[in-house]
Amino acid sequence: MAAPNSKDTFKQYIKRALGAPVIEINIDDDQLDDRVDEALQYFREYHYDGSIKTYLKHQVSANDIIGMKTNESFTESAAGTHAKTDQEYKQQQNYIVLPEFVLSVINIFPFADKINAGEYIIVECYRKLDPTDFTDIYNDMWLKRYATALVKYQWGQNLSKFGGIALPGGVTLEPDNIKSEALEEKTRLEEESRLNYEMPVLDMMG
């Protein structure tokens, strides 16, 4: 069987890993999508193969300059018996909004001490990998095992209301066993990721 290289083939792999088509995997496709998305989110945030160091170029616009000179106001209402209430604070908006795929910023390089509209800044950062573009993610051994554990737990959860029911042939459903096995696998894989594959904290700081 070919290695998974898309979300659909990844979901098919997970089902086969759990026993399909020999065993019916009782899970809705939306539930399967949710568990795969959770696995990808964990992979991109806690596994060094889920992100990449890159440099983004941003041309500063006139609106950016205006925003950096504008203050945000906050009013805090004091609780209890205080002499002063409704304190107002201001915060300068000297920042730019980064794309959602940016995981953390390492450094920002301006080309001058004073930035003017039309000039560029360079953002050194870690960005999350998009599996649509980087399809090799779906064939990562750790991710395949982790996503399978999440789907397995969901399967056991779905079967919980049928626990103890005897099936033809003398087989009895034991969803609690499925859930406990999946939870053990999930915990072990998360520990493995945090110990062996997580990016060192100092490498992620700006």
Closest CA to 147 of 44, 24, 53, 52: 44
Claim to verify: residue 14 and residue 107 sit in the same structural domain: no
| Confidence at residue 205, expressed as pLDDT on a 0 to 100 scale | 47
Q: Do 98 and 135 have their domain in common?
A: no
Q: Which of 67, 60, 63 lies closest to 120 in space, CA to CA?
A: 60
Domain range for 152 is 7-50+130-200
If asked whether residues 86 and 41 sit together in one domain, one would say: no
Q: Is residue 140 part of a domain?
A: yes
Q: Give the tens place of pLDDT for each residue, 49-102.
A: 999 999 999 998 888 888 777 777 767 666 555 556 677 777 777 778 889 999
Q: Rounded to the nearest 10 degrees, how much is the dihedral formed by the CA atoms of 59, 64, 69, 70?
A: -160
| Together in a domain, 46 and 134 | yes
Ranking 77-91, 142-156, 189-203 by mean pLDDT, the lowest is: 77-91
Q: Residues near 38 by Cβ (< 8 Å), separated by ≥ 6?
A: 150
Kindly state whether residues 57 and 149 are assigned to the same domain: no
Inform me whether the pLDDT recorded for 163 exceeds 90.
no
161 with 190, same domain?
yes
How far is it, in rounded angstroms, from Cα 145 to Cα 29? 19
What pLDDT shows up at residue 81?
Answer: 59
3-state SS, residue 60: coil
Domain membership flag for residue 206: no
Paired with 56 in beta bridges are: 123
- Indicate whether 12 pLDDT > 60: yes
**147 and 169 housed in the same domain:** yes
Same domain, 41 and 86: no
Which of the listed residues 110, 128, 146 is the one where a domain comes to its end?
Answer: 128
145 & 195 share domain: yes
Residues 118 and 176 in one domain: no
